Amino acid sequence: MNITQKRLEKITDVAAKRQLDLTIILENVHDTHNIGAVIRSCDSVGISEIFVLHNTPELVRDFLVIGKNSSSGTRKWVDVRFYNDTEACFKEVRSRYDKVFGTHLSKSAVDLYELDLSSSMALVFGNENAGITDQTLAHLDGNFMIPQVGMVQSLNISVACAVTLYEAFRQRKQKGMYDKEVIGTENEKLMQAYLERHSSKFKGRAHELRK
């Protein structure tokens, strides 16, 4: 394997700091630039995978091109798991993450800064205009909102995701969840996968699960 010591140390450090109990689900987000920006934010805070759920016919597309031009190379380091079927998507999510919270304005929605983002969790962001569908809302454990004081109570989806992820980063960093000197079993597997990707012409990984 052709790799410099500096690069090896970087990959090892990145794999060690990956937060394997935190992920993002994007439901019917149609702008691939937004998806690409979310992938970049996920890589930045140490998320190793995201779920892209397109459960409406008009949004079914070639998943391989998602975020290709706007993720700035991070597709190589963040897996994109693509689903067209809502039930199949959440079955997979539930098998690996304890809680699922979504950005949905309801009476029971909690303030983002009151949410414990250091626990095992998947965070759902919906369509830019319609938000999260009723079908997906039924799978949520709760809703949260990003506090705003402007005239227009709206944030771009990639911005909202970045704000949320960096609050998760703050909470987790405060608890020492990024201070890993010894790589655990799953992080070790991830490091080996990253080393393989480094030495190949790997352009990004997506898992297409259509049912």
**Residue-level pLDDT at 155:** 87
Q: Which amino acid is at 140?
A: L
Report the 3 state secondary structure along the chain: CCCCHHHHHHHHHHHHHCCCCEEEEEECCCCHHHHHHHHHHHHHHCCCEEEEECCCHHHCCCHHHCCCCCCCCHHHCCEEEEECCHHHHHHHHHCCCCEEEEECCCCCCEEHHHCCCCCCEEEEECECCCECCHHHHCCCCEEEECCCCCCCCCCCHHHHHHHHHHHHHHHHHHCCCCCCCCCCHHHHHHHHHHHHHHCCCCCCCEEEECC
pLDDT of residue 45 exceeding 80, the answer is: yes
Where is average pLDDT lowest: 55-64, 114-123, 148-157, 169-178? 55-64
Token reading at 59? 């949004």
Return the residue matching tokens 């079908």: 135
Listed residue (67, 127, 71, 135) closest to 103, CA to CA: 127
Other beta carbons within 10 angstroms of residue 129's beta carbon come to: 7
| CB within 8 Å of 65: residues ≥ 6 apart | 32
pLDDT of residue 114 exceeding 90, the answer is: yes
180-195: b or e for each residue (b if 16 or more CB lie within 10 Å)?
eeebeeebeebbebbb
The CATH class given to the 21-177 domain equals alpha beta
State percent of the chain over pLDDT 70. 85
**pTM, two decimal places:** 0.89
Domain residue spans of the chain = 1-19+183-204, 21-177
Phi and psi torsions of 192, nearest 5°: -65, -40
| CB within 8 Å of 196: residues ≥ 6 apart | 202
**Residue-level pLDDT at 180:** 76
pLDDT of residue 28 exceeding 80, the answer is: yes
- At 5-24, the pLDDT tens digits run 999 999 999 999 999 999 99
Cα–Cα distance measured from residue 119 to residue 121, given in angstroms and rounded to the nearest whole number: 6
Q: At what angle do helices 157-174 and 32-45 cross, to 10 degrees?
A: 10
Q: What is the CA radius of gyration of the chain?
A: 17
